[in-house]
Amino acid sequence: MTEIANVTVRFGGVVALNDVSASFTQPVSGIIGPNGAGKTTLMNVLSGFVRVTSGSVSQDGTDFLRLAPHRRARWGLRRSFQREEIAGDLTVFDNVLVQADNAPGGDRAAEVSEMLAHVGLADRADKMGRDLNSFERRLTDIAKCMVGTPRLIMFDEPGGGLSVDETKQLGALILSIRDKTGAQVLVIDHDVELIRAICSETLVLDFGRRIAFGPTADVLADPKVKAAYLGTEEVTP
Ligand SMILES: Nc1ncnc2c1ncn2[C@@H]1O[C@H](COP(=O)(O)OP(=O)(O)O)[C@@H](O)[C@H]1O
Ligand SMILES: [Mg+2]
């Protein structure tokens, strides 16, 4: 469980997060909101890239903000970025093995093979990072997040740039992560249909504030949430 309590983040005059609280208890939870709402900042707080101005975060009862970023990784925090960090001069297998090497114990090569099979890349384990298409890069990145006993995996816009079919596959894969690894998953995405399909609960941010949080269907039906999205459509030509 991820408990965010009264988190505020200021960057100079910008209040990127304004007294945000939410307890994520589901296997897969969503974070949505217009551009600039503070979604990535919240993930940066969890990973330790950004310090809170005030507030607290606990993970399964651990005071998370007291852990240095590398200790959060050792604890089992994983993150995937919209631009995946895939080494071009390593194979798919070795890209994933590098991540597994940071984790203690176990048969790492066997675990890498198992996760590559799980994401559907078993037949491309020897392909070089530089030769991967965008979906293969995304899948490799997800396999990296799944090795080494993760406890919390965060995806920032994993659906970006994917086709409808690829997005469906991605959704099914994200939904399988809890059973496969035991990890909890947080997903930011602009694709509300992806969020609706895979997230049992969703937090909605707008201008750094929480405007809704709860079961995804309820949240998406909330007039305040619809207004926040319509508001953006009106100013976006
Ligand atoms: N490192 C930073 N320094 C200054 N301002 C930032 C920084 N990171 C984010 N912001 C600002 O905080 C607000 C929230 O940004 P962000 O969390 O990236 O939004 P989102 O991911 O929802 O689009 C924006 O106004 C953004 O310009
Ligand atoms: Mg963002």
At residue 235, does pLDDT exceed 60? no
Asked if residue 69 and residue 154 are part of one domain, the reply reads: yes
Asked if residue 169 and residue 214 are part of one domain, the reply reads: yes
> Which of 4, 15, 41 has most ligand 1 atoms within 8 Å of CB, for mutation?
41
The count of structural domains within the chain is: 2
Q: Which long-range contacts (CB under 8 A, 24 or more apart) does 172-177 make?
A: 173/119, 173/120, 173/139, 173/142, 174/28, 174/142, 174/198, 175/28, 176/118, 177/27, 177/28, 177/146, 177/153
At residue 164, does pLDDT exceed 90? yes
Asked if residue 200 and residue 165 are part of one domain, the reply reads: yes
The Å distance, Cα 16 to ligand 2 centre, comes to 11
Asked if residue 159 and residue 107 are part of one domain, the reply reads: no
The ligand 1 site (C-beta within 6 Å) comprises: 11, 14, 16, 33, 35-41
At residue 154, does pLDDT exceed 80? yes
Which atom of ligand 1 sits closest to the CA of residue 39?
Answer: 22
pLDDT, averaged across the chain: 92
The protein residue whose alpha carbon is closest to atom 11 in ligand 1 is: 16
* Residue numbers of the domain that contains 114: 82-147
Which atom of ligand 1 sits closest to the CA of residue 38?
Answer: 17
Per-residue confidence (pLDDT) for residue 232, from 0 to 100: 53
Asked if residue 129 and residue 31 are part of one domain, the reply reads: no
Per-residue confidence (pLDDT) for residue 21, from 0 to 100: 98
Q: How far apart are CA 84 and CA 155, in angstroms?
A: 11
How confident is the model over 59-117, as pLDDT tens digits?
988 899 999 988 998 899 999 876 778 999 999 999 999 887 666 667 899 999 999 99
How confident is the model over 128-152, as pLDDT tens digits?
999 999 999 999 999 999 999 999 9
The protein residue whose alpha carbon is closest to atom 27 in ligand 1 is: 36
At residue 231, does pLDDT exceed 70? no
The Å distance, Cα 220 to ligand 2 centre, comes to 19
How confident is the model over 189-228, as pLDDT tens digits?
999 999 999 999 999 999 999 999 999 999 999 999 988 8
How confident is the model over 18-62, as pLDDT tens digits?
999 999 999 999 999 999 999 999 999 999 999 999 999 999 888
At residue 155, does pLDDT exceed 90? yes
Q: For the residues of the chain, what is the DSSP string, one character each?
A: -EEEEEEEEEETTEEEEEEEEEEE-SSEEEEE-STTSSHHHHHHHHHTSS--SEEEEEETTEEGGGS-HHHHHHHTEEEE-SS----TTSBHHHHHHHHHHTS-SS-HHHHHHHHHHHHT-GGGTTSBGGG--HHHHHHHHHHHHHSS--SEEEEESTTTT--HHHHHHHHHHHHHHHHHH--EEEEE-S-HHHHHHH-SEEEEEETTEEEEEEEHHHHHH-HHHHHHHHHHHHH--
Per-residue confidence (pLDDT) for residue 236, from 0 to 100: 41
Asked if residue 72 and residue 154 are part of one domain, the reply reads: yes
Which atom of ligand 1 sits closest to the CA of residue 44?
Answer: 17
Angstrom distances, CA of residue 222 to CA of 50, 83, 142, 192, 202: 30, 32, 32, 14, 12
End residue of a domain, out of 95, 124, 147: 147
The domain that contains 16 carries what CATH number? 3.40.50.300
The Å distance, Cα 37 to ligand 1 centre, comes to 8
Confirm whether pTM is higher than 0.75. Answer: yes
Per-residue confidence (pLDDT) for residue 1, from 0 to 100: 93
Asked if residue 124 and residue 13 are part of one domain, the reply reads: no
Per-residue confidence (pLDDT) for residue 221, from 0 to 100: 94
Asked if residue 226 and residue 163 are part of one domain, the reply reads: yes
The protein residue whose alpha carbon is closest to atom 1 in ligand 1 is: 11
The protein residue whose alpha carbon is closest to atom 10 in ligand 1 is: 16
